[in-house]
Structure 1
Amino acid sequence: MPMSITAFLLALALIFRVTRFVTADALAEPFRLWVERRYGEESRRAYLVSCAWCASIWASIVIVPAAYVWGDTVWFQLVALIAAASYLYGLAATNLDNH
């Protein structure tokens, strides 16, 4: 059975939010700094946790199969919808509040 468009769009939003959280959010900064200290600032691992293009692949590897299997369940949709709302609000706050 193919993935529903709802599951796909929610998975996409969840990938956006997880990637943004890992690579740029202040709450994940201690994690990024730990990776830099442990593996070096110029290491591939440090680059991975600071590069949205790189981190999104790994987030997708986890999220897309989950969306394929559980995308039409309430728990997946609820988690993904919360992440989507958070991401969209962040975009709006960043781009609209400054004008």
Structure 2
Amino acid sequence: MSALVFLLSLGTVCRVTRFITKDALAARFRSRVADRFGDDSQQAYLVSCGWCVSVWVAAAVTALAYWAGDETWYQAGAMVLTLSYLTGLAGNWLD
């Protein structure tokens, strides 16, 4: 795996993890999990814990990067997610 694919994959894992655990657009998903299993359940904790979610997201992204990391479509998609994550970090830092 090249350094480019690794860094783009890293950014992708960060952005997808952030989306699942913190983003308002995924709040309904987190609420459904909590409603189904209970607010104090392991499942509800799993979908709100960045450390927990990142393991599963990283496993999926690593497999995809290994399989298609040199493909333009993978690199373009990963770049969009990485730039989105970095822009969010910069926005928080600069505001």
TM-score category, normalised to shorter length: over 0.9
* AA of the residue aligned to 1:48: L
For the 8 Å contact 1:7–1:68, the answer to whether it is kept is: no
- 1:32 Cα deviation from its structure 2 partner: 0.3
How far apart in 1 are the matches of 2:91 and 2:10?
Answer: 20
Query: Cα RMSD between the aligned structures?
Result: 0.6
Could you tell me which residue of structure 1 aligns to residue 77 of structure 2?
79
Matches within 5 A, 1:7-22: 7-22=5-20
Normalising by the residue count of structure 2, what TM-score does the alignment of the two structures yield? 0.97
CA distance in 2, matches of 1:6, 1:95: 25
Q: In structure 2, what is the equivalent of residue 36 of structure 1?
A: 34
In structure 1, what is the Cα distance between the partners aligned to 2:10 and 2:43? 24
Deviation at 1:61, TM superposition (A): 1.2
Letter in 1 for 2:43: R
Structure 1 residue runs of 4 or more that deviate by more than 4 Å after TM superposition: none
Identity %: 49
**What corresponds to 2:88 in structure 1?**
90
Distance 2:3 2:93 in 1: 27
Superposed CA deviations along residues 19-69 of structure 1, whole A, max 9, x for unmatched, are 000000011000000000001111111001100000000001100011011
SS in 2 for 1:49: helix
Query: Where does structure 2 lack aligned partners over 5 or more consecutive residues?
Result: none
Number of equivalenced pairs: 95
Alignment counterpart, residue 4 of structure 1, candidates 2, 5, 26: 2
Q: Which of 62, 65, 85 is equivalent to 2:60? A: 62
